[in-house]
Structure 1
Amino acid sequence: MKIDILKHNLVPEHIILTDEEAEEVLLEKNITEDQLPKILPNDPVVKAIGAKEGDILKIIRNSETAGTFISYRIVKP
């Protein structure tokens, strides 16, 4: 039996940004790709959503204290 890790309550939502969305985020935050935190290509969620090296992921976490918290990571070894 295969388990869908994306449905687990401890795994936040991960979204692959389009090139345009990624560029917008980098401009808005005034950063470069090298300044983004990394997520490994062999991470189970990266594999599950089909992200590839160089993709920027938007990670949406729900928090009791902060409400919704959004972070970004780049897929890199």
Structure 2
Amino acid sequence: MAMDVTDHVAVPEHRKMDEDEVEELLEKFDTKKEKLPKIERTDSAIKGLDPEVGDVIEIVRESPTAGETTYYREVIESR
């Protein structure tokens, strides 16, 4: 019996960003996609997003001090 980890309360929301959003993000933070933290394409939390290498994933986590915080990860091939 397989469990869908994305339904678990401890797994934050993950969303694949479109190219326009990625361009805005990189411009806003004056960075390059390659400098973002990484997430493996086979990570269970993004499996349902049909990720491809090079995609950028937005992760929104609840924060006790800030309400919520947003993180960004570049999809890489599994190591």
Same fold (TM over 0.5): yes
SS where residue 27 of structure 2 aligns? helix
4+ residue runs of structure 1 moved beyond 6 angstroms? Answer: none
CA deviations 1:25-74 (Å, max 9, x no partner) are: 00011000111000011111122321111110110001112211001000
Aligned to 1:24: 24
Root mean square deviation of aligned Cα? 1.1
Q: Give unpaired runs (5+ residues) of structure 1.
A: none
Match of 2:69 in 1: 69
SS in 2 for 1:6: helix
Q: TM-score, normalised by structure 2?
A: 0.88
Partner of 1:52: 52
Amino acid of the residue matched to residue 76 of structure 1? I
The aligned residue for residue 4 of structure 1 is: 4
Q: How many residues align?
A: 77
Which consecutive residues of structure 2, in runs of 5 or more, have no partner in the other structure?
none
